[in-house]
Structure 1
Amino acid sequence: MKLTIYILLTGLLAIACNSTKPVSKGDTETAIINESENDTTEYELIIFDTRYDSFLVTQPPKDFYSNEYYRTWNIQYVTEWNIRHNNPMRYGDFFETQIDYSPHIDYGIDLNYQLYNYFLFIEKEYGIVLVRRGKTAR
């Protein structure tokens, strides 16, 4: 049985709120996670933003951190993304689609690495900080 799950991570709009750079209509960005079940389940993250590929090659290799490290951060990023998705009056429509990322599924290091770096890309390219990193105030 083959299952395919399509998840649109985001559609960037020209009037995206919380963006430090103007986004043109040609910069529509979509990410898709495909799941196909043969002998093993494999996931693939597809992001339609040419700048992401350029950004990704500048990042440390995927084995720089563990799969668990990427997974832990992705859970935090996805949680915050979905909170913002559910509050468009407060955060605008930059977070147009909800991300269906389950902490109970092992997506593998490849997808977790790409998704983790996607969130870093959003922070760097659009100035949107989803999760504050570093020391917390006491």
Structure 2
Amino acid sequence: MKNLLYIALLLLFVTGCGSLGGNYNKDRIANAEQDTVRIANDSLEYEIIIIEPGFNLFINSYAKPRGYYSQPYLENKNQFLVSEYNQRVRQPNAYNPNLYVQEINYDPSIDYGYEVNYLLYNYFVYFSQQYNQRFSVPTRI
């Protein structure tokens, strides 16, 4: 009888822990969906998807507001930042391949508009601060 009680308590404990894990995973998925920024323009055939925990909080709380920088300023910064980022992607022995996963296709001759340039620049600001990475073109808040 005593063993049966211990087995019952053990089953309750295991069941209770299992249900917490399920909620935790659902919360992580919900947070990942909230931290996904998607920008698309079908006429130009481009799409930017930023999946980075904390990026939405950064954009909404810490980044300079939209309109603070001019579009030419952001385009100029992005051209250099994307170039340096892509060079790091091509050098997995010198730079962490877990941080520099995929090249960014950014063509400076295309007018992506203010919003794309704003979010891309602020992603580099966030990326450099979050992962302690320095680029030759300074990124500041």
Structure 1 residues 32, 130: closer, same or farther in 2, change over 3 A? farther
CA distance in 1, matches of 2:52, 2:135: 19
Report % sequence identity: 33
Q: Which of 89, 93, 96 is the matching residue for 1:92?
A: 96
Q: Which of 106, 110, 113 is the matching residue for 2:111?
A: 106
Mapped contact 1:35–1:43 kept (Cα < 8 A): yes
Would you say 1:35 and 2:38 are equivalent positions?
no
Structure 1 residues 43, 61: closer, same or farther in 2, change over 3 A? farther
> Corresponding residue for 2:56?
53
Aligned length: 105
Amino acid in structure 1 at the alignment position of 2:85: W
> Corresponding residue for 2:80?
76
State the 1:115 CA deviation.
0.2
TM-score, normalization by structure 2? 0.65
RMSD: 2.7
User: Segments of 4+ in structure 1 off by > 3 A?
Assistant: 29-35, 41-45
> Of Structure 1 and Structure 2, which has the larger fraction of its residues in helix?
2
Q: Which ranges of structure 1 fall in alignment gaps of 5 or more residues? A: 1-26
Compare CA radii of gyration and give the structure with the larger one. Answer: 2
CA distance in 1, matches of 2:109, 2:36: 24
State the 1:51 CA deviation.
0.1
Q: Which ranges of structure 2 fall in alignment gaps of 5 or more residues? A: 1-31
